A and B are shown apart, each in its own frame.
Chain A
Amino acid sequence: MQRITRRQFLAISARLAAALTFIRWFRIQPARVVAASDLPHVCVAEGSDEDTPAQILETALKGLGGIERFVKPGQVVAIKPNATWAYPPRTASSTDPEFLTAVIQAVKDAGAGRIIVMDHCSIEPGADEALRISGIGRVVKDAGVEAIFPDRFNAPKSVYTKIDLPYGRANQKIGVIKAAAEADVRINLAVAKTHNVTKFTMCLKHMMGFLQQPGLLHANLEQGIADLSTPSAIQAQLHILEAIRVRIPYGNYRVCAGPETDITHPHVVTRRNTIVAGVDPVLIDAYGCMHFFNIQPQELTHLLRAYESGCGEIDVETALTDGRVRVFKVGASLPAESESVSTSEGETPESPAPQPTAVYAPGPEVSIPLAPSTGSEAECRPAETIIAPSPLLKTALIPVAAIISGLGLAILNRMRRKLPPAQAQDDEKTIAGSASQTE
Chain B
Amino acid sequence: MMKKQLPVLLRRQNSNMTKRQTSRQGYFDRLARRLVQVGFLFLFLFPLLPFIYRQIASQPTPDYASWLLPWDPLLALGNLLKGNSSALILGAPLLLLSLSLVLGRSFCGWVCPLGTVMDLIRPLAFWQGKKLARVKHSSGQRNSRFRYWLLVLVLTGSLLSIKALGWFDPLIIFSRAATAVMVNLLASPQTLERGGLTYFSLLFLAILGLEFWRPRFWCRHICPQGALLSLVTRFSLLNRHVSTACSGCEMCKRVCPMNAISKDAHNTDYTDCTFCLECEAACPEDGIRFGFGALALAKWQPAATSASASKIERRQGNYTAANGMPAQGLTRRQFLQGAVAAAAGLALMPLTRLEQRRIPLRPPGALPEAQFLDICIACQECIRVCPTHGLQASFLQSGLSGLGMPVLVPRLGGCSLGISCTHLCQQVCPVDAILPVNPKDFRIGTAKVEHSLCLAWDQGVKCLVCVEACQYHAAIPHQGRVVVDAGKCVGCGFCESGCPVPGSAIHVVRDDSSTI
Contact = CB atoms under 8 A, between A and B. Distances in A.
A272 B289 CA distance: 87
A430 B5 CA distance: 12
Interface string A117-140: 000000111111100000000000
B463 A221 contact: yes
A413 B28 contact: yes
Contacts of A438: 3-4
B467 A395 contact: no
Contacts of A332: none
Interface residues of A, number: 72
Nearest to A403: B39
Contact of A392 (B35, B39, B49, B277): B49
Contacts, number: 208
Nearest to A392: B49
A7 interface: no
A159 B419 contact: no
A215 interface: yes
Contact of A156 (B37, B39, B58, B280): B58
A432 B124 CA distance: 45
Instruction: Classify chain B's interface size.
Output: 35 or more
B49 to A, nearest CB: 5
A217 B468 CA distance: 13
Interface in A54-82: none
B3 A153 contact: no
A435 B189 contact: no
B32 interface: yes
Contact of B462 (A129, A197, A409, A417): A197
Interface in A409-439: 409-410, 412-414, 416-417, 420-421, 423-425, 427-428, 430-432, 434-435, 437-438
Given A197-B462, A403-B36, A154 B49 contact: no
Interface string B3-40: 11011101100100010011001001101111111111
B432 to A, nearest CB: 26
A387 B62 CA distance: 10
Contacts of A128: 60, 420
Given A153-B388, A417-B289, A427-B11, A406 B34 contact: yes
B419 A126 contact: yes
Contacts of B286: 420, 424
Given A123-B414, A431-B312, A159 B243 contact: no
Q: Which of B40, B50, B189 has the most CB of A within 10 A?
A: B189
Given A156-B188, A405-B35, A417 B43 contact: no
Contacts of A416: 25
B61 interface: yes
Interface stretch (A12-20, A144-152, A311-319): A144-152
Contacts of B465: 215, 218
Interface string B44-86: 0010011001111011111000000000000000000000000
Contact of B60 (A216, A387, A398, A430): A387
A155 B188 contact: yes
Nearest to B189: A157
Nearest to B459: A219
Contacts of B387: 151, 153-154
Given A125-B418, A219-B463, A219-B500, A420 B313 contact: no
Interface of A: 123-129, 148, 150-160, 175, 196-198, 212-213, 215-221, 252, 254, 387, 389-392, 395-396, 398-403, 405-410, 412-414, 416-417, 420-421, 423-425, 427-428, 430-432, 434-435, 437-438
7 contacts: A125-B418, A215-B498, A216-B500, A399-B46, A402-B39, A409-B28, A428-B245
User: Lowest 9 A-B CB distances belong to which pairs?
Assistant: A126-B420, A406-B35, A402-B39, A403-B39, A406-B36, A409-B32, A410-B32, A399-B42, A156-B55
Given A123-B416, A218-B465, A399-B42, 11 more contacts: A123-B471, A124-B494, A156-B58, A156-B186, A197-B463, A217-B500, A387-B59, A390-B50, A403-B35, A409-B28, A431-B8
